[in-house]
Structure 1
């Protein structure tokens, strides 16, 4: 098959429109249409259903799109490795992490990375779904458990525990619980038990719910829980790494915490020599060292 025709087919399938694909490829709509018809003739197959609202792939079109998508990912990998053969650190770096960690810990610290490598273009993908690194859905991941996918380089960064926190204003108004049973007399702010979260957090929520909670606010991510705590709504279940950036929060019931949650950095084996990956890995490592030092200082104090 002719690569030029495959390239044009992939652009049309990705855009769902001859016009938009033509704009991306700097070709006229008629030129794009001719190439698609020629490809369909060579394959003796219809690749698109044509509708007034756009183009939809046929079953045969979906098979071909899967193949061209894999080719594009391999070309992206080759391009990244070629660019990284130079001394400069630049270009796009796709980073995935959970919504909570990415929003509350990682994003606020990216200033240090950008100040060192201003030409870097970071695409931060924050979601609970585990993206497929070997298939290049992302370049590097920070995950709240050890990755199970093969062909990944992984490094344990730190451990996190879920703990109870409140604002000083809330505790001054509602009182400070002295025992776990006292939690029932306060508003608990936490993730919904059915929300996607680390198992240690879900187990702790289950335990807290056994204490006949008087009032409850559930949110589907830690950012919302944090906002509730900062706005004096109640006692929140939050990861301990937040205390470094929000030192005015007060830990409630210091003996109550979840099991340890390991945090891993992972990236594909084929990107072992990528300078962008190395720059990001070193940046995260330095920030983790600073975080651990702050925790040691806090404990000593």
Structure 2
């Protein structure tokens, strides 16, 4: 009975996706999943342009670090820093996001005078494998942690208040102002940003409109790496 129920649910979800994908009018809700900082500092001007060109389209931004299930239409399209492994997802490496090491003016002086006294603002233990975490720990091997958080926005706010150094996406750190980039120790690794949606939604006009505006407005779009191109 469970397997039959799951098959019925899969069929119902597939029908829902296909009906949504055949919606040819540029109107309605478009559910967009991304990290909060990416939505605020990268997608915000894109969504503004989408609203200007297509005022009947209503973006619904789901700012979450959880990897939402696109097959269940938890979102119509998702932007994230890891490739999609789910079946039937059309995806593309959209851009490479540069990262930098940041601190307040006082923290920058501490880095110059006494690097061991600088405290670190990091991702939490679940994201300790991120390359920027390793990079930061390698450069400050004797420094203590000031804060760990899954939220880059929280890290940036704590960093702004002089509580330590943090590796942050440049779009976030330089978009909020007040933070100083520290290039003395080299450049931390950047991250690829991927965009993906379920193949049943490939004909949804409001989704395609968003993707066209995104590619036009991004500063450094990357060439497609997957078998299907948006």
Q: Deviation at 1:216?
A: 1.6
Is contact 2:101–2:168 with CA below 8 Å preserved after alignment?
A: yes
Distance 2:55 2:135 in 1: 41
Shift of the 215–93 alpha-carbon distance from structure 1 to 2, 3 Å rule, reads closer
Instruction: Name the structure 2 match of 1:92.
Output: 29
Counterpart Cα distance in 2 of 1:198 and 1:143: 16
Q: 1:78 aligns with which of 18, 34, 42?
A: 18
Write out per-residue CA displacement over residues 4-63 of structure 1, whole angstroms, 9 at most, x where no aligned residue: xxxxxxxxxxxxxxxxxxxxxxxxxxxxxxxxxxxxxxxxxxxxxxxxxxxxxxxx5x66
| Secondary structure of 1:203 counterpart | helix
Q: Which residue of 2 aligns with 1:188?
A: 120
Contact 1:93 1:139 in 2 (8 A): yes
Q: Establish whether residue 139 from structure 1 lines up as the match of residue 76 from structure 2.
A: yes
Tell me how far 1:226 sits from its aligned partner.
1.0
Q: RCO greater where, 1 or 2, for CA within 8 Å and sep 6 or more?
A: 2
Instruction: Output the TM-score relative to the length of structure 1.
Output: 0.62
Q: CA deviation at 1:245?
A: 1.4
Q: Which runs of 5+ in 2 are unaligned?
A: 222-230
CA deviations over 1:72-104 (Å, ceiling 9, x no partner): 3223223313322xxx31112122223442344
TM-score (norm 2): 0.79
In structure 2, the partner of 1:256 is 186
Provide the residue aligned with 1:297 in structure 2. none
Kept in 2, the 8 Å contact 1:96–1:138? The answer is yes
* Alignment coverage as a number of residue pairs: 221
Distance 1:205 1:163 in 2: 10
Aligned CA distance change for structure 1 residues 186 and 245 (closer, same or farther; 3 Å): same
Q: Which runs of structure 2 are paired with 1:174-185 in the superposition (5 Å)?
A: 175-178=109-112, 182-185=114-117
Residues 36 and 63, structure 2, Cα contact 8 Å, conserved in 1: yes
Aligned-residue offset at 1:243: 4.2
CA distance in 1, matches of 2:5, 2:164: 51
Counterpart CA distance in 2 for 1:198 and 1:119 is 42
> Which protein has the bigger helix share?
1
Q: Offset at 1:140?
A: 1.1
